[in-house]
Amino acid sequence: MQTQTAQFNRLSPSLEQNKHWSVAEIETLFKLPFADLLYRAQQTHREHFDPNAVQLSTLLSIKSGGCSEDCGYCPQSAFHSTGVENKKMLDVATVVQAARTAQQNGAGRFCMGAAWREPGDEDMRSVLEMVKAVRDLGMETCATLGMLSEDHVEQLREAGLDYYNHNLDTAPEFYGEIITTRDYQDRLDTLERVRKAGINLCSGGIVGMGESLTQRAGLIAQLANLNPYPESVPINNLVRVEGTPLENAEELDPLDFVRTIAVARITMPRARVRLSAGRQQMSDAVQALCFLAGANSIFYGEQLLTTGNPEMERDRALLDKLGMYPFKDTRI
Ligand code: SAM
Ligand code: DTB
Ligand code: SF4
């Protein structure tokens, strides 16, 4: 696989004034004839990006299981019996070795995830060391640690964290049916603190949790109307894990997943839209449609946090088959 360095997307979304999107306008996009929607998404995509370049992020769970939040989709919540053990945090050397391996395999960004409602001060000390060490390898760094205080945001900024992932997950109207241990405003507050500190935002959501089309449009409206909208937008297809309240959620029509990607691309033209969880269950054809709809980032590596992801061989073969190549963002 060849690597292409940044020639496109030189401008951060923060340099442009957001258009305000109503939920109704976004719902209208969702209802466009499929070909019209994809054509519009592809046009938008080509205005801002090399359409054949895809950004590769590798995830590592640095602290798994036993989380005190009750997120209905999540195998790591202590409220659900999923067989995921409550493990202690990985040590710094193990994390750096995993990052080195990810880099050798072609990933440009390394994302460290922890099953926390929020990190404690002691946890932060190790996380900061990890961020600095991974950054020293020359990789982009991302962390997802739950809610953050201003102090913790500041420490991450000083350590040089490039991206903070914190998802809105779904529309405000549906949120209470999925999570009861924190509210939507808590999530928005953390995003605001991260944004203020100048750390790039990675924020998206999950589809296929039984939300209505209006609620799916409501999630996209929340993200697109953040001013500025996130630099990185992961769109996850629910991974239905046995033992979670959503284990029997009705499977989303794959074409509706593709539509969600297209609508994210149109409403957040300069964001990196990530085709995130749920790829293992997706055919190559559906993934190709997602790329056509404007997805230009994937999680790369055999494991997400606790569930599987396509093998790297399969991903390399897919990209080759589509004439696509990894893209490395330059540090903003
Ligand atoms: N605990 C932190 C938090 O919730 O922000 C960080 C880790 S948490 C696992 C990160 C994200 O993973 C969640 O916000 C959710 O969007 C996604 N996620 C978790 N379980 C999932 C599942 N079963 N299917 C799809 N996405 C999932
Ligand atoms: C995101 O939006 N998706 C990733 C990452 N951010 C942290 C997590 C997906 C988790 C899927 C379930 C699991 O593997 O536990
Ligand atoms: Fe905890 Fe994050 Fe899972 Fe929610 S999504 S239970 S906060 S690890």
**For position 18, what pLDDT does the model report?**
80
Confidence category of residue 327, pLDDT binned at 50, 70, 90: confident
Top-confidence residue, 30 or 1? 30
3-state DSSP call for residue 124? helix
Question: Per residue in 124-141, pLDDT tens?
Answer: 999 999 999 999 999 999
The gap from C-alpha 260 to its chain's centroid, in whole angstroms, comes to 14
**Which residues are marked as active site?**
67, 71, 74, 111, 142, 202, 274
Q: How far is the CA of 242 from the centre of ligand 2 (A)?
A: 16
Report the range of poorest mean pLDDT among 9-13, 27-31, 241-245, 285-289.
9-13
Q: Spell out where the chain has E strands.
A: 4-5, 53-63, 109-114, 140-144, 163-165, 200-202, 205-207, 232-237, 272-275, 297-299, 325-328
> Is a pLDDT exceeding 50 seen at residue 330?
no
CB 237 within 8 A of CB 51: no
Give kind and range of the element (H or E) at residue 214: helix 213-224
Work out the number of other CB atoms within 10 angstroms of the CB of residue 141.
25
Candidate from 168, 305, 307 with most ligand 2 atoms within 8 A of CB, to mutate: 305
pTM higher than 0.75, yes or no?
A: yes
Confidence category of residue 168, pLDDT binned at 50, 70, 90: very high
Question: Per residue in 174-197, pLDDT tens?
Answer: 999 999 999 999 999 999 999 999
Question: Per residue in 312-325, pLDDT tens?
Answer: 999 999 999 999 99
Tell me the longest C-alpha to C-alpha distance in the chain: 52
Helices (H) and strands (E) in the chain, counts: 11, 11
CB 237 within 8 A of CB 169: no
Reading the block at residue 259, the tokens are 């539509």
